[in-house]
Amino acid sequence: MGKKLKVAVIGGGSSYTPELIEGFIKRKSELPVSDIYLVDVEQGREKLEIVGNLARRMVASAGLNINVNLTMDRREAIYGADFVVTQFRVGGIDARIRDERIPLKYDVIGQETTGPGGFAKALRTIPVILEICKEIEELAPGAFLINFTNPSGIITETVIKYTDVKVIGLCNVPINMVNYVAKVFGVEMDRVYIQFAGLNHLVWGLKVYLDGEDVTEKLIERLISDDDATMKNIPGLKWDKALIKSLGMLPCPYHRYYYMADRMLKEEKEKAATEGTRGEVVKRVEKELFEIYKNPELAEKPEQLEKRGGALYSYAACNLMSSIVNNKKDIQVVNVRNNGAIADLPEDVVIETNCVIDRNGAHPLNVGRVPAKIRGLMQVVKAYEELTIEAGVKGDYDAALQALTIHPLVPSAEVAKRILDEILDANRDYLPQFF
């Protein structure tokens, strides 16, 4: 099995952490983890203690010899690590709520990772991820950074362009799409293969295979005829049948924000006025979760964690680590440098696609050119991402304004400027690059 592994989890006090611990427990025979360092910031100390104690109970209950270390010292956590997993949220859940509410004031969709909300989150996260990468370069130069911090594609691309860290970006949307298709056909997940191409939270299933047979058309038929075939993580809105038929491929749940923007905006505004934004709902869910986590009898991941929206996260993260450690050369869907895999995008940007995973990391399979019906949206959102990275790294106001101006969900340059100015003002404490 080789050496014992040290894993550092940055944002270790996250409500998602038990999901990750469960993943390590399930893969104990192939992933020889000896030390897990859960690290967080001072404001997250209480959550870290609660989650850390649950993690220790889970490990003990599974009879595993894994040391779960809780620390506020990021350098100690990173030193000599084999994997650094990032799942942190700069500014906490209150910053997310602001990200959702500011755009809504201007009749623009307010969402955590898509549009102006995702833009604000990226600007806050970029300075922190660059600090973390400096520490990895110094203290664990051989480590793989597995980035789950959103917006995952933008953060991963920042690391690739501005550091020497070996990074792979991860998201649970593709694996949930595979799971969804498996449920539609009533089969196990490992019998389904989807050819993915696109960007994080903007990925399409170009072709869908069941046991090696192309069932894309059958799936489209099923989606058109079945009223219940809606994806769970962005609830409540059915896909337009004519849209799905004309698209002829599987959109990801986040495509609703683009393909059905008017309906999504209307629903968001109604919810914000009644039960609150998604961030406000999550804040309540988290409060409940941490009360459950405190129970000294609890020694497994509670089912209430499903409500939080991170389903199959640990499956994706632990699969990825295992394939690197064991040089499996299997295929997984991750965020990786394009290197010409999608011919319609620059070489040096990050895409989300099927990759071969081995001990050296992730290697994208060639996609070639994509159909015109998805190419335009993909290219303009990628240009927005490139400008957001430039703004986030350099504190460049002009790049920031252009990023929001060209985003498909922002109606005009004037609205872009008003939203930008309010975002910068509301996040002043987290944006050293601008102030």
Query: Which sign, positive or negative, has the C-alpha torsion 219, 223, 226, 232?
Result: positive
Contacts 24+ apart (CB under 8 A), 236-241: 236/267, 237/263, 237/264, 237/267
Distance of alpha carbon 94 from alpha carbon 80, whole angstroms: 33
Q: Where do the structural domains in the chain lie, given as residue ranges?
A: 5-170
- What CATH topology corresponds to 5-170? Rossmann fold (3.40.50)
Nearest-angstrom CA–CA distance, 323 and 108: 41
Report the alpha-carbon distance of residue 418 to residue 415 in Å, rounded: 5
Which residues are CB-neighbours of 220 under 8 A, at least 6 positions away? 244, 245, 248, 249
Q: Is residue 150 a contact partner of residue 113, using CB atoms and an 8 Å limit?
A: yes
Mention every residue, 6+ apart, whose C-beta is less than 8 A from residue 407.
115, 116, 119, 380, 381, 384, 416
Question: Model-level pTM greater than 0.85?
Answer: yes
Residue-level pLDDT, tens digit, the chain, 435 residues: 568 999 999 999 999 999 999 999 999 999 999 999 999 999 999 999 999 999 999 999 999 999 999 999 999 999 999 999 999 999 999 999 999 999 999 999 999 999 999 999 999 999 999 999 999 999 999 999 999 999 999 999 999 999 999 999 999 999 999 999 999 999 999 999 999 999 999 999 999 999 999 999 999 988 887 655 444 434 445 788 899 999 999 999 999 999 999 999 999 999 999 999 999 999 998 999 999 999 999 999 888 887 776 678 888 999 999 999 999 999 999 999 999 999 999 999 999 999 999 999 999 999 999 999 999 999 999 999 999 999 999 999 999 999 999 999 999 999 999 999 999 999 999 999 999
Cβ pair 340, 314 in contact under 8 A: no
User: Which amino acid is present at 393?
Assistant: V
Query: Are 203 and 173 spatial neighbours (Cβ–Cβ below 8 Å)?
Result: yes
Closest CA to 83 of 246, 279, 288, 320: 320
Specify the pLDDT at position 164: 98
As a whole number of angstroms, the distance between CA 268 and CA 257 comes to 11
Q: What H or E segment, with its residue span, contains residue 35?
A: strand 33-39
Distance CA 204, CA 169 (A): 17
Q: At 324, which amino acid appears?
A: I
Q: How far, in Å, CA of 359 to CA of 349, rounded? A: 22
Kindly list the catalytic residues: 254
Q: Which of 369, 360, 362, 361 is nearest to 340 (CA)?
A: 369
Within 8 A by CB and 6+ apart from 274, the residues are none
How many CA atoms, within 13 angstroms, populate the side-chain half-sphere of residue 228? 3
- Using CA atoms, how far apart are residues 91 and 72, in angstroms rounded to an integer? 16
Closest CA to 59 of 29, 24, 10, 7: 24
